[in-house]
Structure 1
Amino acid sequence: MPLSFALFDTLVDAALPADPAAAVGEELRARGVDVPDDWAAAYAETHVDAPEGAEIPLPAHVSRALASRGVTAPGNAARRAVVAAFDPAVRTREGAVAAVAAARERGPVGLLANCAVPELVGRTLVRSDLARDDFDAVVTSVACGWRKPDPRAFERVADALGAAPADLVHVGADPATDGGATAVGGEFVDAGDAVPDS
């Protein structure tokens, strides 16, 4: 049985910035970027015309937000600022390791994470009690280009597991996004029932 897990709020809790615009702005300033006075407003605006369901990498959004105010971030400052701003403390949720291990006994196991920040999923796994090798496939929205609940996100993880999307069982904590597995004929399992919190 091919099974995929969501990461955040399902297998782990991660302390992400309460105010992402402020956190990114601080990291931009630390890299010599002249952050505009109305940065919070610029950050909140849409700057990339993307198809519905597409993931916009946060560094691209930040670069476009700066450009909308006439500011250019040198080199890869936008990416480095975003990665630094989203540098979380991580706690593995009770039952998560056992749930992944039990799933592996039944078939291939994947990770399907909505995440617009490069490197965040990898760093989260390193800081958790889980490992990249616990999963046969790790699919992130920033890498595959589609966010849950878009069916293409579930199709990508099913394909990476060598399975048909209709055979996929997806475990997650957010019915509004993780429940999108049902749109491809798969099954959604609420993590509140599958992976108890401590």
Structure 2
Amino acid sequence: MAISFDLFGTLVAVERPADPAAAVAAELRDRGVAVPDDWGDAYAELHIDAPDGAEVPLPAHVSAALRSRDVDAPANAARRAVVAAFDPEVRTPEGAVDAVSAAAERGPVALLSNCSVPELVARTLIRSDLDRDAFDVMVSSVACGWRKPHPEAFETVAGRLDVAPETLVHVGDDPNTDGGVEAVGGAFVDVREVGFDTLTDSLRRGARSELLSEGESCP
């Protein structure tokens, strides 16, 4: 049984900036960048024309937003500002570690996360109670180029696990994104409906059909 887990909102809870544009602006100023007066508008505008479902790395968006206001940033300033602005405080929900461990007993395990901030997935895992070695594969949208629910995201993680996409069971907290696994023939388990205790028990028994019948979002 190949299983992938969503990260944010599923395996970890993180404190996000209340005002991302302001947080990035503060870090840019700390790095000597002249932030434009209408930065909030610039940050909110679309600057990079990407295909539907493609991930635009946030540093690239920030750099483009600065250029749209004729502001030049020193090399890597945008990347360093974004990474610092989203530096996470992390909490690991009770039961998450056991669920990943139980999944690893049944087959290959992957992490599949929507994340436009470089380094954030790695930093989050380091600060969590999760063991990075429990994951055979870790895929973020900023690395693979596609955001869930786009099929490419799930096909990428299935390919790296060397399994067929239709055999993938994806555990997450958002039917609108994580539920996209169903478009490639896989199964979605909503951790909010199932709960980690039930998920772990079902995995330890190897009861795939039982697991999938627990949540209303599962086929």
Q: Do both share a fold (TM > 0.5)? A: yes
With normalisation by structure 2, the TM-score equals 0.88
SS in 1 for 2:10: coil
The structure whose RCO (Cα within 8 Å, separation 6+) is larger is 1
Alignment partners' CA distance in 2, 1:158 and 1:19: 35
Alignment partners' CA distance in 2, 1:187 and 1:134: 21
Maintained 8 Å contact 1:83/1:118: yes
Name the larger-Rg structure. 2
Shift of 1:191: 1.1
Aligned positions of 1:150-165 closer than 5 A: 150-165=150-165
Aligned residue for 1:80?
Answer: 80
**Residue 147 in 1 paired to residue 168 in 2?**
no
Alignment partners' CA distance in 2, 1:109 and 1:188: 15
SS in 2 for 1:179: helix
In structure 2, stretches of 5+ residues that fail to align are 198-219
Alignment deviations for residues 76-98 of structure 1 (CA, whole Å, 9 cap, x no partner): 00000000000011000111000
Aligned residue for 1:104?
Answer: 104
Greater shift in the superposed pair: 186-195 or 50-59 = 186-195
Greater shift in the superposed pair: 129-138 or 53-62 = 129-138
Shift of 1:195: 2.6
Q: How many residues align?
A: 196
SS in 1 for 2:42: helix
Aligned residue for 2:47?
Answer: 47
With normalisation by structure 1, the TM-score equals 0.98
Alignment partners' CA distance in 1, 2:140 and 2:153: 8
SS in 1 for 2:54: coil
Aligned residue for 1:56?
Answer: 56
SS in 2 for 1:176: coil
Identity %: 70
**RMSD of aligned C-alpha atoms?**
0.7
Aligned residue for 2:205?
Answer: none
Alignment partners' CA distance in 2, 1:110 and 1:170: 9
| AA matched with 2:196 | V
